[in-house]
A and B are shown apart, each in its own frame.
Chain A
Amino acid sequence: MAPKLSSIAKTAHLASAAIANNATRSLKHSGQYQALRMMDNVRAASSTAGAKTITVRDALNAGLAEELDRDDDVFIMGEEVAQYNGAYKVSRGLLDRFGERRVIDTPITEMGFTGLAVGAALHGLKPVLEFMTFNFAMQAIDQIINSAAKTYYMSGGKQPCNITFRGPNGAAAGVAAQHSQCYAAWYGSIPGLKVLSPYSAEDYKGLIKAAIRDPNPVVFLENEIAYGESFEISEEALSNDFILPIGKANIEREGTDITLVGHSRSVKFCVEAAETLEKEYGVKAEVINLRSIKPLDVPAIIESVKKTNHLVTVEAGFPAFGVGSEICAQIMESEAFDYLDAPVERVTGCEVPTPYAKELEDFAFPDEPTVLRAAKKVLSL
């Protein structure tokens, strides 16, 4: 049985076949052509009528490629981003298309390469630094916070730092305690950072471009399980210029009876719970996809609570001092307090280091039934 070929090997085979067949395309261009074809998944998936779908991975890949194309100061750096095509294949084809000056593999030295990327940003470049997961970014967190986030302020506005830190955040599946933490609350507390947490493919594409163009340090929290998920995407979102504004939440589903607020993968459970609530209880839940942790779109939540009078927050991070805690505090400090008919309920990750066995891991993170239970409690159903 012939061994399974890697995508790089496939590219090389195609290229050599092209030469063998006296094709006019050069070896270099064959690779690039193949890379472009690999990225052109949307065209492959679309039909003349009906909505287009795209995976989060491909949406992110397209967003990154567009920004690399648009601005020579942008470069991608991280472990396995170049030759390996990305640990999760997010940067697939980018090395072939843009070359090793723009897409750079690093040694496994988070503190060092994060500082290096921040230094490059201080000098005026626009690095997009990948952490294989944000768990590993803890080794580099001094550079993210003390060297990147605070420098513009400490320099009295003289020294900006246009850097984007991106990578999977929160739970994967069965990767246990050291590989499953959600850092939204940690980074969300730092003045000087912006923190984004996309949910849908459109979010990923529009927000990664916004993050790269934003002149401040931006932490872009992705999710590994989301990479393979497919979403419908509008024609507009597929274009080169599609940017989403930072700090604006999205109403995924309109409702009148209860507000479910989540970010990243938690939005999925909110949407599912909303469907169940409608079907089984006739309750119309409004689902808010935060998209942005810092700034938090508090006005959107307030508007919704004024309409529905009930609020449930959903996140995968640890409960103590989390995103949900912040939302509760913000709501309580605002006019929305008077509109609440019940206390806010937070659905969070469980307060344990993530266990390995699936039976236990299932208790560690929110899911649709848990969100449903919280909603029923708040509505006294």
Chain B
Amino acid sequence: MLRTTARPSALTAVSRIAQRSLASSSTDLISIELPASSFEGYNLEVPELNFDTEKETLLKMYKDMIIIRRMEMAADALYKAKKIRGFCHLSVGQEAIAVGIENAITPEDTVITSYRCHGFAFMRGASVKEVLGELMGKRSGVSYGKGGSMHMFAPGFYGGNGIVGAQVPLGAGLAFSHKYRGQKAASFTLYGDGASNQGQVFESYNMAKLWNLPCIFACENNKYGMGTAASRSSAIVDYYKRGQYIPGLKVNGMDVLATYQASKFAKDWAAQGNGPLVLEYETYRYGGHSMSDPGTTYRTREEVQHMRSRNDPIAGLKAILLDKEIATEEEIKAYDKEARKYVDEQVAAAEADSPPEAKMDILFEDVYVPGSEIPVLRGRISDDSWDFKNKTFLNKVY
């Protein structure tokens, strides 16, 4: 692994050409040169702009992003077809963050975020079918139809949280547990620019710094908290500086290689016992806050179009894959087609699944851990009270 630790200036033009000629082999290392604008540090030396990574990783990140994009677009269509109810917050445009983080961490690390969680749930191990199934309220959904869009859980993924900002102390708690158990793991605790002003966020910063917790606070700054521009909600919009006594790092969240490098840096920082960091992934959502928000009343269509055409994370990685000759145009088209086909199949499978049976024992399930339920939970009228011991209605007739 000498090449990963070599200083970038040591790589000569000759060795770079040698690398390119070997690019057809899939285990090859590709050297990445991030633009200087990728990072901005606050009391922190920014990560190396130049690093090597495996070709396989780059291809995987591309495939991950296009699946998430397709999955979110499928959710959009299903919502408009009234197959998804309630809230549905999509992350179209923000894919590089979930993908960059997941490829930089291990299953032992933990991730927690807000309600804009579908991409994270997928990256942490839920299948597209399970995510869409949950959105459609199917029994085969990732939370068995009990949670919906905002409450998806997967191994090492703690949701999916509906209350703005509440996930931040929870994430500090995950980090606390990592430290308590002596694990060399980190907790990626994500929140938005809208949540960043919550008092509990600052309370979490304080405890994380005081107790040196391996907590990576990560603000996904997509410029708008629902319909309120960041500058209208926040006295300072440099969210990576909000940690005051905690070092901060601003990352170009539309570039998956930058998010990947930054996330690796953050994970290593925490795992080495340096305590918390405050990251700010600068990103953008093409859609509205949720499916009920067109997203055009508080910003111009030109702005959205501009971001889409100039800064799209998928288009950005595609350009690099082509430029470094990791994949050809045809191969990329094939990946796109494969992703579309996969997502379509998963949509069909999820749609074909059934919702939870409309039975009271399913309704009352999981209020408490099985075996430790309280004797009776009341239904809408006293007759509908559910008796856990006998698994039947109490039928309070006298």
Residues of A within 8 A of B (CB): 75, 101, 106-107, 109, 111-125, 142-143, 146-147, 151-160, 191-192, 194, 214-216, 247, 294-295, 298, 333-335, 337-338
CA distance A77 to B158 in the complex (A): 22
A-B contact pairs, 23 of them (CB 8 A): A107-B203, A107-B206, A111-B203, A112-B199, A112-B202, A113-B169, A115-B166, A118-B169, A118-B170, A119-B158, A119-B169, A119-B170, A123-B177, A142-B163, A146-B163, A154-B143, A154-B146, A154-B151, A156-B145, A156-B147, A157-B144, A157-B369, A159-B153
Give the distance in Å from the alpha carbon of A116 to the alpha carbon of B171 in the complex: 7
Listed stretches B87-95, B225-233, B373-381; interface member: B373-381
Residues of B with C-beta under 8 A to A146:
162-163, 166
Q: What 0/1 readout, one digit per residue, does chain B (140-183) give for beta carbons within 8 Å of chain A? A: 01111111000101000011011100101111111011101100
- Bound-state CA distance A75–B173 (Å) is 13
**Beyond A112-B206, A116-B172: 18 further Cβ-contacts under 8 Å?**
A109-B200, A111-B203, A112-B199, A112-B203, A112-B204, A116-B170, A119-B112, A119-B173, A123-B177, A125-B180, A152-B366, A155-B147, A159-B153, A194-B368, A215-B372, A247-B374, A247-B375, A334-B396
Tell me whether A120 and B174 are in contact (CB under 8 A).
yes
Task: Verify B143–A116 contact, CB threshold 8 A.
Answer: no
Q: Which of B165-218 contact A (CB under 8 A)?
A: 166, 168-174, 176-178, 180-181, 199-200, 202-204, 206-207, 210
Task: Name the distance in Å between A246's Cβ and chain B's nearest Cβ.
Answer: 8
Ranked nearest first, the 6 interchain pairs of A and B with the lowest CB-CB distance are: A119-B173, A115-B169, A112-B203, A156-B144, A295-B374, A119-B170
With most chain B CB atoms within 10 A of its CB, the pick from A153, A155, A159, A214 is: A155
B169 — which chain A residues lie within 8 A by C-beta? 111-116, 118-119, 143
Is there contact, CB below 8 Å, between A156 and B366?
A: yes
Residues of chain B at interface, number, CB under 8 A? 51
A117-B169 Cα distance, complex, nearest whole Å: 8
| Contact A115 B173, CB 8 Å, known A152-B369, A192-B367 | yes
A147 to chain B: which residues have CB within 8 Å? 161, 163, 166, 170
Which of B170, B174, B180, B374 is the most central at the interface, judged by chain A CB atoms within 10 Å of its CB? Answer: B170
The answer to whether A116 touches B176 (Cβ under 8 A) is yes
Which B residues are CB-close (under 8 A) to A117? 173
A-B contact count (CB 8 A): 155
CA distance A215 to B368 in the complex (A): 8
The residue on A at minimum CB distance from B356 is A156
- Cα–Cα, bound, A307→B177 (Å): 51
A109 to B375, CA, bound (A): 36
Residues of A within 8 A of B176 (CB): 116, 119-120
Contact call A115/B200, Cβ cutoff below 8 A: yes
Is there contact, CB below 8 Å, between A194 and B158?
Answer: no
Residue on A nearest B148 in the bound complex, by CB: A154
B398 touches A115 (CB 8 A): no
Is the beta-carbon distance between A216 and B151 smaller than 8 angstroms? no
Whether the Cβ atoms of A125 and B177 lie closer than 8 Å is: yes
* Choice from B151, B173, B204, B375 contacting A295 with Cβ under 8 Å: B375
A153 touches B161 (CB 8 A): no
Interface centre among A101, A118, A151, A160 (most CB of B within 10 A): A151
Tell me which residues across on chain B come within 8 A of A113, comparing CB atoms. 169, 203, 207
Residues of B within 8 A of A247 (CB): 374-375
Is B35 interfacial (CB 8 A cutoff)?
no
Cα–Cα, bound, A216→B207 (Å): 25
In contact, B166 and A155 (Cβ under 8 angstroms): no
Q: Is B33 an interface residue (CB 8 A)?
A: no
Instruction: Report the Cα distance A120→B382, complex, angstroms.
Output: 37
Q: Which residues of A contact B112 (CB under 8 A)?
A: 119
Inter-chain CA distance A295–B373, complex, in Å, is 9
B contact residues around A123 at 8 Å (CB): 110, 158, 173-174, 177-178
CA distance A152 to B373 in the complex (A): 12
Name the residue of chain A whose CB is nearest to the CB of B161.
A147
Chain A residues positioned under 8 Å from B396 (CB to CB)? 333-334
Given contacts A119-B176, A122-B170, contact A155 B143 (CB under 8 A): yes
Cβ–Cβ contact B166 & A124, under 8 A: no
Q: Distance in Å from the Cβ of A89 to the closest Cβ of chain B? A: 24
Q: Assess A116 versus B207: contact at CB under 8 Å? Given A147-B163, A156-B145, A159-B153.
A: yes
The answer to whether B331 has its CB under 8 Å from any CB of chain A is no
The distance in angstroms between the C-alpha atoms of A372 and B367, with both chains bound, is 39
* Residues of A close to B147: CB separation below 8 A: 154-156
B150 to A, closest residue via Cβ: A154
Chain A residues within 8 Å of B174, by CB: 119-120, 122-123
CB distance from A290 to the nearest CB of B (A): 14
B76-130: which have CB < 8 Å to A? 110, 112
Separation of A147 and B162 alpha carbons in the complex (Å): 9
Could you give, for residues 355-368 of chain B, a 1 whenever the CB lies within 8 Å of some chain A CB and a 0 otherwise? 00000000001111
Contact residues of B between 311 and 327, Cβ < 8 Å to A: none
Residues of A within 8 A of B171 (CB): 119
Evaluate whether A295 and B376 lie within 8 angstroms (CB atoms) in the complex, with A109-B206, A112-B206, A156-B366 already known. Answer: yes
Choice from A122, A333, A337 contacting B173 with Cβ under 8 Å:
A122
Indicate if the CB atoms of A158 and B153 lie closer than 8 Å. yes
Give the chain B neighbours of A155 by CB distance below 8 A.
143, 146-147, 151, 153, 159, 366
